[in-house]
Structure 1
Amino acid sequence: MELIILLTIFASQISCSSTKTLKLDINKVDRIEIYQGYPGNKVPMKVGFENDFIADLNKSKELGPTKYMKTHRILIYYKDNNTDTIYTNGGIHQFNNWYKSNKNLIEKYALNETVLSNTVVGQLKTAQKLELLMAEKKYDEAILLFSQRQQKSINELKKEPEMFNYWCLAWTFDKAKFERYTNRIKSGNGNFVFEENEWKIDEK
């Protein structure tokens, strides 16, 4: 029994130690600039944000290969004249690998904390349309806000009334549920694809 406990603790330690994070050295950094789009517009950041920003970046946990919209670039200029570029949406960062923060770091440290990318604004508009249509039980119109791939799956669900009713309940929002959903979008974790000139929900 004691051996099993020791092996469990050992396995847990290995699992924890195997979680990789970014390792950026703030002492080597000269300055940091953040741009929205490419070449893009420079995002005004809070005065003296660099130390806390790097500390939060270093807390980001490694992910596997991840599909996400690269809405911003973080340019880290070093004192030795080298530069690193991190592609990000504020919450997910690509730098040799993919990493995820607990919060959207661009929103956290931008001079205007409510700065949102055009991508996120578009996705929020889709979410607002969905909330209204589902509340009005206009399900056929609501389904059109989903990606073509998801529309096929949802239309298959319609053939089974009980399953479709469950889907309707899942996508009908109260105030708290809608706030959680939009916060997920604002953090860069919304599941969307750009189809037919608008953002469509890419989850069932």
Structure 2
Amino acid sequence: MKHVLLGAAAALMLTTANFAYADTIKLEPGKETNMVLLPKFLGILVFDQANEGAQEAHKELGNPGKLEFTGPTPENSTAGQIEIMTTAGTQKQGAVMLSNNAGDQIVPSAEAAQAAGTKVVTWDSPIPGGQGESVFVAQVDFGSIGTVMADMAHSILGGKGQMAVLSATPDASNQNAWIESMKAALAADPKYADIELVDVVYGDDQAEVSYNRALAL
């Protein structure tokens, strides 16, 4: 599985080594490929914006194939993503572009899709174990973001106090990686010695649940 760090919206470089910008695959306009853009679930602005960008790229590349934007509901995200991935493989889609919210549970359907000839590109949130994905496009450096989060907490608290994390869903591998990176940063640097991480809770990407969990904290 390859890793790509997305450094600018204008350039997407798929490479043969982690973040090593060598042997770049040059895109050839006009090739026909049917693709599925699969977000964690529908109804979230950031995924709608990602779809707008994908449609722009699809048009720019002159792809006569179909780019379908589809996803599950928030309440059925894990099972819904697995079902859509399974269907994409059965339909022999050229590629599925997945923001994963199903953890490693999606591996069997992703590997089945790959076996059927479908490329599985993860973006935003990878498959934790890396199985079943052809390439992962990272919007940030997961290690650095943990330090940034720790520094923000340090600044807000004035160097001393208690903090908690209200995250999205337990299976959001990107946010889980950020949290683990933040925990590592808090433990590694003495300047965070007076900051206590008291809890990590999840709002299931639902406004009311997130609001109530915040009030509980």
Shorter-chain-normalised TM-score: which range?
under 0.3
- TM-score normalised over the length of structure 2: 0.23
- TM-score normalised over the length of structure 1: 0.24
